[in-house]
Amino acid sequence: MQVVLGTLLASLVPVVGFNAVMTSEHFASFLVFIFIHVVAFAYYIKGLLSQKMFKVAVTLVASVGMVLCCAVVAVLIAMVASSPTKGWSGRSLSLLDPTYASKYIPIIASVSEHQPPTWPSYFMDINVLAFLVPAGITACFLPLSDASSFVILYIVTSVYFSGVMVRLMLVLAPAACILSGIALSEAFDVFTGSIKFQLPGISRNSQIDVRDTSSAGVVTQDDGVKTDKNEESLKERPSKKNKKKERENAEKALIKPPLEKRLLVLPLEASVISLLLLVLLGAFYVVHCVWAAAEAYSAPSIVLTSHTNNGLHVFDDFREAYAWLSHNTEVDDKVASWWDYGYQTTAMANRTVIVDNNTWNNTHIATVGTAMSSPEKAAWEIFHSLDVKYVLVVFGGLVGYPSDDINKFLWMVRIGGGVFPHIKEPDYLRDGQYRIDSQATPTMLNCLMYKLCYYRFVETDGQGFDRVRKTEIGKKHFKLTHFEEVFTTHHWMVRLYKLKPPKNRIRGKTKKSKTKASSTTGSKGSGKRNPWQ
């Protein structure tokens, strides 16, 4: 009931729709769901019918079921074969092949959450659990059971998936908690058992219990011998020497386990110190979790903070830029930016954006990426065709903010080049390196993103030193002809530009080209050129 209700509710979500039942990654769960109900129904029927009638019913149902299963499998194979990705989504294929998204779907690979995690991210997210998980895996093998095998399989698959995408650390977290709990439980069991065994009062009781157990075992052995004598009265009576030897072997067998257990006991001081260290380890983990939840996971992404020698410094540039847009632009003005800031612009500035975080149209995002990658004139034509009035870029070169548009620019090139072939990534690289200094390629130095980010940047320090890229920019003194700067925030983190109207853009050329235009009127057609070619 929960599976059916959950699937129906998921289908009501517009983004999901029929993907909940039409994509290949859901087929396995549905097959398990059907198989469980078939088995339950078989047990129910078996309780109602006689054994003979049950065999006839099983034969009939199996025959009809095989036919239906073959038909369903044939339909599924036909549907999967008709799909270019065999029914799998791009994110699922990225899990099975980590290089798939970077080769075929750069828009998926461009998301920071879809990048492979680094080693520090594991220690940041699971902290001390990274050291306890191997101990938990070892404990699951001693002894190996069905439950422990499932836990081992769970941790292995979750570690693999978390290594493909950093967002799947959420899958690893519960598995790491389970294995760490097993490791701590086994450790506490060993240390507390060692302490109990070596305490004065408990050690005497344990010795008495061992003696009582050994004596009881001897009596049991005697009874067993007597019983064997009664049952085998017709056989030859064993000699006293053999009877004595059997009794000695039985005493050794009963006394041996306590001796072996005593050999595994750790020293009392080591057990106490180890218990204290485990308690401190748990307390440190709780402190880390509280700090991570308060600072890393609950901090707003729209207001940034930095701790310096002078105290806490707040960077409120995003809200500053959105407030300017809200108070100084028209309600129906459209803003173009990279899709990362679409939701914020819509919610904070109440302005229409070209692309946002939920844009599934790859061509639409590629159009914005192509405009950012194109020269100023071509970019103006693309934005003008989209009825854009303002362009927003995020720049962190002055304050050292690494998640700016210059660092994301290569993804704009890749996504744009995937739809518009004239955008080629090697044109923006110098010997395979991404550079913004004097060694950068002319295509890079003349693209719109470079100009909008570094316009008047040399005025800040006289050198144009980028603190994120740790180098001086290559093109320092240039002017904008098709865009005009309308607002730059206090720390230069957000910059807003307005598209110049067509009349102002060609005013300087009108008088010069009047005579030429009058002589060539009618000789050529006035067809509008496609700005994306």
pLDDT tens sequence for the chain (533 residues): 677 888 888 878 876 777 777 776 677 777 788 888 888 888 888 888 788 888 888 788 778 878 888 887 787 777 666 665 555 666 667 677 777 666 667 777 777 777 888 888 888 888 889 889 999 999 998 888 888 899 999 999 999 888 888 888 888 999 999 999 999 999 898 888 888 887 765 554 554 444 444 444 444 444 444 444 444 444 445 555 565 566 666 555 544 444 444 445 778 888 889 899 999 988 999 999 998 888 778 777 788 888 777 778 888 999 999 999 999 999 999 999 998 888 999 999 999 999 988 777 788 899 999 999 999 999 999 999 999 999 999 999 999 899 899 999 999 999 998 889 899 999 999 988 999 998 999 999 999 999 999 999 999 888 889 999 999 998 988 999 999 999 999 999 999 999 998 865 554 444 444 444 444 444 444 444 444 44
CA distance 7 to 1: 10
The answer to whether residues 228 and 246 touch, using CB atoms and an 8 Å cutoff, is no
H helix runs in 329-441, sequence order: 342-344, 362-373, 376-385, 405-419
What does the buried/exposed string (b/e) look like for 426-443 if buried means 16 or more CB atoms within 10 Å of the residue's CB? eebbeeeebbbbeebbeb
Q: How many CA atoms does the CB half-sphere of 375 hold within 13 Å? A: 9
Q: How many residues are there in the chain?
A: 533
Phi, psi of 286 (to 5 degrees): -65, -40
Question: In the 8-state DSSP scheme, what is residue 349?
Answer: I
Angle 91-345-449 (CA atoms, 0-180°, nearest 5)?
Answer: 75
CA distance 472 to 469: 8
- Report, in angstroms and rounded to the nearest whole number, the Rg of the chain calculated over CA atoms: 37
Q: How many CB atoms lie within 10 A of CB 413?
A: 26
CA distance 249 to 243: 10
